[in-house]
Amino acid sequence: MNSSCLRNAYAEGHYVLPPLPYGDASLEPLICAETLYLHHDKHHAAYVAGANAALETLQLINAGELSTAHASAACQNFAFNLGGHILHSLYWENLAPKGVHLRTDSLLSEAIDAEFGSYVAFEKLYTAVALAVQGSGWAVLGVDPISRRLIISGICKHHEVLVPSFSPLLVCDVWEHAYYLTWSNDRKGYINAFMQHINWTVVNERYEKALRNEF
Ligand code: MN3
């Protein structure tokens, strides 16, 4: 993982909810203030609490104070909740109130052109993947750790259909709680608006760190 926001997601032995980098109403009309408040303060907070609870269960098993019969469920809970904590931390940071353009002389811009042909082609594929996620999940632009190439992939829930060691650069939450109050069932409208609010400076920094294997 390669983002500075994750340093604010853990403190003194516990996962913690990082503050939003902007106010609740900053992403209107993409995301209404009520959605942003509920999404951050309730949904993301619940994943933080769930990750801490699952970690505590695993520590009890490790200490012999709880049966190993609980291990499978604890691992599932840990992956789901920590996955949610990580993805949401990345999500808040890769959005900006007015969006920040991708510099055409940036490494990421060159890589997008090389991999997808053009920014427009990238946007089309990313949107298609985000629309195609079945049920609740995420669209992710990331770096394959073997080829170092850019890949667009979908994630089911927070932790399924996930490539190990894949470095996420740009994540879009397509769970209904991310957009339903603002966009109703129009997921495509939400994704199109999301594309206009990306903080490409942050995404390019993540790309450069991923290439340097910085975590
Ligand atoms: Mn969410």
Alpha carbon of 62 to ligand 1 centroid (Å) = 31
- C-alpha 67 to ligand 1 mean position (Å): 32
pLDDT at 1: 46
Compute the distance from residue 36 Cα to the ligand 1 centre, in Å.
Answer: 10
Cα 137 to averaged position of ligand 1 atoms, centre (Å): 8
The Cα–Cα gap between 94 and 195 comes to 11
Quote the pLDDT of residue 3: 66
Residue 14 phi, psi dihedral angles, 5° rounding: -135, 150
Task: Calculate how far, in angstroms, residue 31's C-alpha sits from the geometric centre of ligand 1.
Answer: 12
The predicted model scores a pTM of: 0.96
Stretches where the chain sits below pLDDT 50 are: 1-2
Q: Give the integer Cα–Cα distance in Å for 92 and 96.
A: 8
Could you give phi then psi for residue 103, rounded to 5 degrees?
-65, 135
The rounded Å distance from CA 49 to ligand 1 centre is: 14
Ligand 1 centroid – CA 85 distance (Å): 9
Give 170 Cα–ligand 1 centroid separation in angstroms.
14
Helix axes 187-196, 119-132, angle to 10 degrees: 140
**Tokens for 12?**
């003194």
Virtual CA dihedral for 152, 48, 160, 188, nearest 10 degrees? -50
The predicted pLDDT at position 106 comes to 97
- 22 CA → ligand 1 middle, Å: 17
Domains of the chain: 32-93 (1.10.287.990), 107-211 (3.55.40.20)
> According to the model, what pLDDT value does residue 54 have?
97
**29 close to 194: Cβ distance less than 8 angstroms:** no
- At residue 165, the 3 state secondary structure works out as coil
Cα separation of 104 and 53, whole Å?
A: 44
φ, ψ (nearest 5 deg) of residue 142? -150, -175
Inter-axis angle of helices 119-132 and 107-116, nearest 10 = 70
